[in-house]
Copies of this chain bind each other. A is one copy, B any other.
Amino acid sequence: MNANGTLLKVKKQLHEAGFKLTPQREATLLVLLENEKDHLSAEEVFFFVKRKSPEIGLATVYRTLEILTDLRVVDKVSFNDGVARYDLRKEGAKHFHHHLLCLECGNIEEIEDDLLGEVEAVVESRYHFIVKDHRLTFHGICSNCQAKHE
Contacts and interface: CB of A to CB of B under 8 A. Distances in A.
Interface in A91-114: 100, 102-103, 109, 111, 113
A22 to B, nearest CB: 26
B80 A82 contact: no
A70 B132 CA distance: 33
Contacts of A134: 136-139
A123 B115 contact: yes
Interface residues of A, number: 37
A148 interface: no
Contacts of A146: 128, 130
A51 to B, nearest CB: 28
A133 interface: yes
Contact of A127 (B76, B123, B129, B143): B143
Interface of A: 76-78, 80, 82, 84, 100, 102-103, 109, 111, 113, 115-116, 119-120, 122-123, 126-143, 146
